[in-house]
Amino acid sequence: MNNAIQHAYLKGLPNTCPVMTNRWWMAGSVDHKRKEFQIIFYDQGVGIPRTLPHLHGRTAIGRLLERFSLVRNDENLIKAAMELRESRTKQAHRGRGLKDVRDFVDVCDDGWLRILSGYGEYTYHSGGVENIANHSKSIGGTLIQWKVSQQALIEEFEDGHEDSHIGRLH
């Protein structure tokens, strides 16, 4: 969530509604019956679709969209963000957040990831199933919802390896 403060509230890009800048929120829950863990992050920034071209350059984003034969809209810009592997900070340990969360979903047999940002929605289910959608209303920021089985989460924490997916998420 380092990205929320660094990227979500860019000067010069006005937001669509009044916001509490430089903040983000997180909530989590455990469903003991289903044995699932869920975590939700939210920020009121301008959103992934608006910041992506400013952070990575319109030409680079255009090439990425072209590679996947995608038109330039919010849902496809979120999908493109999932493929980027570098940060504008140029720090080696940054720029992998979304992809690392998605990769961890694959480690879990029944995990999924949902990102709502601007008017776009991206969902990813373990095994590589992706869905995208565009909505008529904006969420007014970015919401990331991530659900995995408790067992997969426990195993990942017990693993204790520095190269574990959880270790890369912080």
> What does the pLDDT read at residue 98?
81
Alpha helical stretches, state H, the chain: 2-7, 48-56, 58-67, 74-81, 97-107, 150-159, 165-169
> What does the pLDDT read at residue 161?
46
> What does the pLDDT read at residue 22?
80
Contact at 8 Å (CB) between 98 and 115?
yes
> What does the pLDDT read at residue 120?
96
With both helix axes pointing from N to C terminus, report the angle between 74-81 and 48-56 in degrees, rounded to the nearest 10.
Answer: 60
> What does the pLDDT read at residue 54?
64
> What does the pLDDT read at residue 133?
96
The pLDDT tens digits along the chain (170 residues) read: 455 555 555 566 666 666 677 888 999 999 989 888 899 999 988 888 888 766 655 566 666 666 665 667 889 889 888 877 655 555 555 555 788 888 888 877 788 999 999 999 999 998 889 999 999 999 889 999 999 887 777 777 676 545 555 555 54
Class of residue 162 by CB neighbours under 10 A (exposed 0-12, middle 13-18, buried 19+): exposed
Name, in order, each residue with C-beta under 8 angstroms of 159's C-beta and a sequence gap of 6 or more: none
| DSSP at 127 | T
> What does the pLDDT read at residue 13?
63
